Amino acid sequence: MPGTLTEFAMQTDSLIQHARDGDPQAQSKLVQIWYKRIYNFAFKFIGQHDQAMDITQKTFISMCRSLGGLQDLARFKPWLYKIAVNYCREEVRRAKAGKFVGFESVWNPEAEISPAWENSTRRHDNPESQLRYREVTDILQQALKQLNEDQREVVIMKEYEGMKFREIAEALNISENTVKSRMYYGLDALRKILESNDITRETLGYEF
Amino acid sequence: MSFKPGEAEWMGYLYHELDAETTSKMDALIQSDPEAAREWQRWQKLRAVTGLLEDKEVIAPVFYQQEPQRKTRTIPGIYKVLTGIAASLLILMVAAKFLDLHISYSKNELSISFGPAPVAEPIIKQADPGITAEQIQQLIDESLAKNSAGIEAKLKETRQALKQELAANDKTDAEQMNQLVTGSAQINEAQIRQFVSSLQTENLKLIKDYMKMSAKEQNNYMEGLLVDFSKYVQEQRRGDLQLVETRLNSIEKNTSVFRQETEQILTSILGGKNKDKEVKY
């Protein structure tokens, strides 16, 4: 395990370097490191598990194929998210054109015992708290879906993926100011959606 | 205050990505302007709520990397020819091995043959035609007769010498054996006598010791018996004495009781007679 952030960054750089040179082990390691992040980005963007899985898989296949073309190792993160964003947009377009109905809309995976539920930290909470949490996360997920695509991708990248404005700008091929502007209006829209659902810090109380 | 933050400033301040100067301006504005403070609070509250959406756990699948296709190398023409020659030679060598091919060159003759190798016939030199076979046989017979006569003479000599030596050896052996037997017999008799006498003395000593020990033990035993018997007698005597003493004591008690009773009777009788005399008077 890397001791410091610098050490970690160096290790990641060398890992990317090896993966770029075609080392399958390094590529596998990169997939292991970034899989959860890309999946969660796609899931928050699309809101469907299966599609998010597809997008994640496609993203990593593309990563392995075109990693050789990456010149600057420091730009790996925005580069990877750029691939993921493109696949997310493609998926949205496909869904709009084909009136795609996700499998999860007719099947509730949470109703069954799943490893995700077994591993969840909320498993030990009281039932009321669990229910409230589920409601809040559903509302948040729905609120994100109500944002337009431009705002949604920026909000998710910034708020949940912790990317710098510069990195987001690089990933989306836009200026930093545009990113900040989209972020501002995205958050503002999100606030309005949440307020309309009466979801504020005060209403949630001390449970969260 | 003239500073009015735009969207970029607000977002930069919210995510700590502003330069130091703008950050201090924002700090001052939030401290001084209640409207800006309310705006700041709204952003913070929103972030507190959005932070509730946690990551979903997902397990990364096993990553399989397809092996890159290997480039096929084209062999240049010259190498192809050389490889062909080498392969042909190898085939010829294998075929020759299986067909048992032999190639030899000697006396300006090249011979190629299959199957087992030809064996060269041995060259026998012709004997000298000057001496006839009969003469040779005679010479051989003569030499054989000479040899056998010499051998026989030598054998006789050695036999005689051996006989003499054996006789001498027998004689000396017999003498030595006699000496040994007589010596050993003498030694044995003396040893046996000595052994018997030692046995006798030892036995005697043992019997004496035994007798002594047994006598002593008998004495001890008798003494013990006597002591025990005397103790027993004394005990008996003591018991008898105690019995006699108790009996005597009881007799003495009975006697005293009888005397007292007799005295009482006598006093009562005497007392009655005196009363009668007083009445008479």
Q: What residues of chain B lie within 8 A of the CB of A141, using their CB?
A: 53
- A residues 75..104 contacting B (CB < 8 A): none
Q: What residues of chain A lie within 8 A of the CB of B55, using their CB?
A: 36, 40, 160
Taking residue A200's Cβ as centre, other Cβ atoms within 10 Å add up to 15
DSSP summary character for residue B118: P
In this predicted structure, what is the pLDDT of residue A208?
A: 44
Q: Is there a contact between A208 and B52 if contact means CB atoms under 8 Å apart?
A: yes
ipTM over 0.90 threshold: no
Q: pLDDT tens, B229-239?
A: 999 999 999 99
Burial of B60 (0-12, 13-18, 19+ CB in 10 A): middle
Q: Is there a contact between A140 and B43 if contact means CB atoms under 8 Å apart?
A: no
Nearest to A195 by CA among A207, A187, A185: A187
DSSP summary character for residue B53: -
**At which residue do the structure tokens 């924002």 appear?**
B26
State the first-to-last Cα distance of chain A, in angstroms, to the nearest integer.
31
State pTM to two decimals: 0.52
Q: Is there a contact between B55 and A160 if contact means CB atoms under 8 Å apart?
A: yes
Q: What residues of chain A lie within 8 A of the CB of B68, using their CB?
A: 22
Q: What residues of chain B lie within 8 A of the CB of A191, using their CB?
A: 42, 46
Q: Is there a contact between B52 and A133 if contact means CB atoms under 8 Å apart?
A: yes
In angstroms, the separation between the Cα of residue B46 and the nearest Cα of chain A is 6
- Cβ pair B21, B27 in contact under 8 A: no
Instruction: Name the maximum alpha-carbon separation found in chain B.
Output: 213
Task: Give the 3-state DSSP-derived string for chain A, with helices as H, strands as E and coil as C.
Answer: CCCCHHHHHHHHHHHHHHHHCCCHHHHHHHHHHHHHHHHHHHHHHHCCHHHHHHHHHHHHHHHHHHHHHCCCHHHHHHHHHHHHHHHHHHHHHHHHHHCCCCHHHCCCHHHCCCHHHHHCHHHHCCHHHHHHHHHHHHHHHHHHHHCCHHHHHHHHHHHHCCCCHHHHHHHHCCCHHHHHHHHHHHHHHHHHHHHHCCCCHHHHCCCC
Nearest to A177 by CA among B165, B28, B121, B17: B17
Which bin fits B117, alpha (ψ -120 to 50), beta or left (φ > 0)? Answer: beta
Q: pLDDT tens, B199-242?
A: 999 999 999 999 999 999 999 999 999 999 999 999 999 999 99
Backbone angles phi, psi at A61, to 5 degrees: -65, -45
State the average pLDDT over residues A122-139: 75
Q: pLDDT tens, B229-281?
A: 999 999 999 999 999 999 999 999 999 999 999 999 999 998 887 777 666 66
- Cβ pair A37, A66 in contact under 8 A: no
Query: pLDDT category, B186, cuts 50, 70, 90?
Result: confident
State the average pLDDT over residues A71-100: 88
In angstroms, the separation between the Cα of residue A8 and the nearest Cα of chain B is 20
List the single residue in B with minimal CA-CA distance to A166.
B17
Q: How far is CA B120 from CA A145, A196, B117, in A?
A: 105, 119, 9
pLDDT at B187 over 50: yes
Instruction: Indicate the SS3 state at residue B80.
Output: helix
Q: Is there a contact between A22 and B68 if contact means CB atoms under 8 Å apart?
A: yes
Of B11, B42, B55, the CB nearest to A191: B42
- A residues 128..167 contacting B (CB < 8 A): 133, 136-137, 140-141, 144, 158-160, 164-165
State the first-to-last Cα distance of chain B, in angstroms, to the nearest integer.
171
Mutate to test the interface with B, among A39, A121, A142, A187 (most CBs of B within 10 A): A187
Query: pLDDT category, B90, cuts 50, 70, 90?
Result: very high
Of A119, A180, A194, the CB nearest to B12: A180
Q: pLDDT tens, A11-42?
A: 778 889 898 888 888 888 889 999 999 999 99
Residues of B with CB under 8 A from a CB of A: 7-8, 10-12, 15, 17, 42-43, 45-50, 52-61, 63, 65, 68
In angstroms, the separation between the Cα of residue B41 and the nearest Cα of chain A is 11
Instruction: List, in sequence order, every residue forming a beta bridge with B112; answer none if it has no partner.
Output: B103
Nearest to A159 by CA among A186, A139, A135, A134: A186
- Cβ pair A26, A18 in contact under 8 A: yes
